[in-house]
Amino acid sequence: MSNKRVGRRTVALSAPPSVISFANIGGKMEGEGPLRDYFDELNEDSFFGEKTWEKAESAMQKKVLQRALDQARLKPGDLDYVLAGDLLNQCIGSSFGLREFGVPFYGLYGACSTMGESLSLAAMLIDGGFAGKAAAMTSSHFCTAERQYRMPVPYGNQRTPTAQWTATAAGCTILAAEGPGPYITHITCGKIVDKGIADANNMGAAMAPAAYDCLSAFFQDTGTKPQDYDLVVTGDLGELGHSIVRDFFSRDGIDMGNNFQDCGLLLYDRESQDMHAGGSGCGCSASVLNGYLLSGMRDGKWSKILFAPTGALLSPTSSFQGESIPSICHAVCLSVKK
């Protein structure tokens, strides 16, 4: 019955669903970074017109879904499903952001891998014949994440050299059974990988083994190598995590090459913006995908991208209780050809 499986962990979609619309939103720092021209909306106000940062994050999800709908001239009722999640406790960025749309909703929690998870499930629901159109989306906000995971922003917490900067950003992709592409051709579901890293200020190192595990499975299952893709792009490993993944592969005799990138390294100018190890947060990979990457594919810059965002499945409580950081990575192959 599981006739769409390729190898042990990868599925090949029989009628690859198409991206029909995509949108992203960023905040002040994202607007000062090298990808500023690839955002649909940039807002200098970290409150996005709301009274709290949590409400601001919900406003971002609401705005980004509305933009993606508008760009495809769709109404909310045209969507069979929205799949979304975020970093906030109980994923309130998504539930409050989406409550006015009245669209069937499956809530996800994949930490910063959520863009990969939501795209994966949306694509499978369409390819499986359960949906005609579905939206995949997520967000993160620097101030809500700092308050929840570390210290309230006004406290002025000093950041360690390996710390990453949570993006204030959201991204949304709308997929459909038919469309102009890019198409989602293959999906590899991640496993939870925990190699014992317990430093919540070094997420990149904690997540690197999960990225290596998922990308390895993808290459093995599909019989391909990194050079078969114009870009292999992780989500938010940052400088350290990204170089660890490169090292892991080089031990296997696999050169990840120059096309191995990370959304957390693309989103900001780390030196001039003082970003330490790079960007992070669900909104990091979501906004880079739904702007720079997908518009680059539409413009002919890249024809095949392997998108593999990672997530650190910790909570402040688990860290307080001395636990290490379980991580996950979901890989999605996007191609301009079916």
Question: Would you tell me which residues interact with a second copy (CB under 8 A)?
Answer: 1-5, 9, 11, 14-15, 51-52, 54-55, 80-81, 85, 87-92, 95-96, 98-99, 101-111, 117, 120-121, 124-132, 177-178, 189-194, 313-318, 321, 323, 326, 328
Give min distance, CB of 267 to a second copy, in A.
Answer: 23
C-beta of 51 vs 73, nearer to a second copy:
51
Among 198, 62, 73, CA closest to 133: 73
C-beta of 54 vs 262, nearer to a second copy:
54
Distance CA 74, CA 129 (A): 20
Among 310, 81, 67, CA closest to 209: 310
Give min distance, CB of 295 to a second copy, in A.
Answer: 26
With the CA atoms of 199, 203, 206 and 207 taken in that order, what torsion angle do they form, in degrees rounded to the nearest 10? 170
| Residue matched to tokens 């317990």 | 198
Distance CA 51, CA 111 (A): 25
C-beta of 258 vs 321, nearer to a second copy:
321
Sign of CA dihedral 256, 261, 265, 269: positive
Give min distance, CB of 188 to a second copy, in A.
Answer: 8
| Residue matched to tokens 């006015």 | 100
C-beta of 33 vs 138, nearer to a second copy:
138
> For strand 165-166 and strand 169-176, is the pairing parallel, antiparallel, or unpaired?
unpaired
Distance CA 164, CA 111 (A): 15
Give min distance, CB of 173 to a second copy, in A.
Answer: 17
Give min distance, CB of 185 to a second copy, in A.
Answer: 14
C-beta of 231 vs 282, nearer to a second copy:
282
Give min distance, CB of 101 to a second copy, in A.
Answer: 8
C-beta of 110 vs 279, nearer to a second copy:
110
Amino acid present at 221: D
C-beta of 6 vs 296, nearer to a second copy:
6
End-to-end CA distance of the chain: 23
DSSP, residue by residue, 239-294: HHHHHHHHHHHHHTT----TTEEEHHHHSS-TTTTT-TT-EESHHHHHHHIIIIIH
C-beta of 300 vs 322, nearer to a second copy:
322
